Amino acid sequence: MGRIVTGVAVCVLAQAAWAVDAVGLSVGQVSRPHWQGELDDLRVALGWTLPWRWLDDDTGALVTRAELEAGRHDTETGRVWSVSALPVLHYRFKTVRAGWGPFVEAGLGLAWLSETVWAPGYDLSSRWQFASRLGVGYAFGAHELSAEARHFSNGGLKHPNPGADMFALRYRWLL
């Protein structure tokens, strides 16, 4: 029975991975708790463009995406790993050159953290967190560069709820 479940899971994951239409890499800093002044936040992401599209006019278009991220955060108490799944709203402004132009995006999803203590006396209380992201950037055809603010929070479901903040530069390649 276990082999059947494993086989089905591998097939489902392989099909989902096949549909990936973007990969991303972001590098940044954990700013709360206790900014240390070094690059201590690293993430890789897989992305899928979703079928929903709104506000498609002469100004731009709002498209939907889904992203699955794996992150490494070097904190005062050691390395913390994260896995996040976020739906993302991405508004790209139209320019004279198709596929090029500025964009803004926002996402809110779920994250799992390998550790909850990020600094002495700074406990996020739960391995399960809400993950949010705001970004601004520029698309160069199949390439995007952006600056992002990210936040982990348990949404007050457990106390304390101090949250963690990160700032990052991100490169995304549309396949």
Q: CA-CA distance, 49 to 62, in Å (whole number)?
A: 12
Q: Within its chain, how far is the Cα of 161 from the centroid?
A: 20
CB distance 152 to 115 below 8 Å: no
Q: Give 33's pLDDT tier (boundaries 50, 70, 90).
A: confident
- pLDDT of amino acid 109: 98
Rounded-to-integer distance, Cα 46 and Cα 66, Å: 8
112: left (phi over 0), alpha (psi -120 to 50) or beta: beta
Q: Please state, rounded to an integer, the average pLDDT across all residues of the chain.
A: 91
97 DSSP 8-state letter: S
**What is the per-residue pLDDT for 17?**
56
**How far apart, in whole angstroms, are the C-alpha atoms of residue 124 and residue 174?**
34
Q: Radius of gyration of the chain from Cα atoms?
A: 18
pLDDT value at position 36? Answer: 73
Give the pLDDT confidence score for residue 49 in this predicted structure: 94
Q: Which domains does the chain carry? A: 20-174 (2.40.160.20)
Q: Which of 17-21, 45-49, 127-131 has the lowest mean pLDDT?
A: 17-21
Question: What is the full DSSP assignment across 105-144?
Answer: EEEEEEEEES-SEEETTEE-S-SEEEEEEEEEEEEETTEE
At 149, list the tokens: 């603010």
- What's the pLDDT tens digit per position in 88-128? 999 999 998 988 999 999 999 999 999 999 999 999 999 99
Terminal Cα-to-Cα distance of the chain (whole angstroms) = 37
Q: How confident is the model at residue 16 (pLDDT cuts 50, 70, 90)?
A: low
C-alpha to C-alpha distance for 144 and 56, rounded to whole angstroms: 20
Mean pLDDT for the stretch of residues 22-36 = 90
Q: Is 1 helix (H, G, I), strand (E, B) or coil?
A: coil
Q: What angle do CA 42, 44, 50 make, to 5 degrees?
A: 140
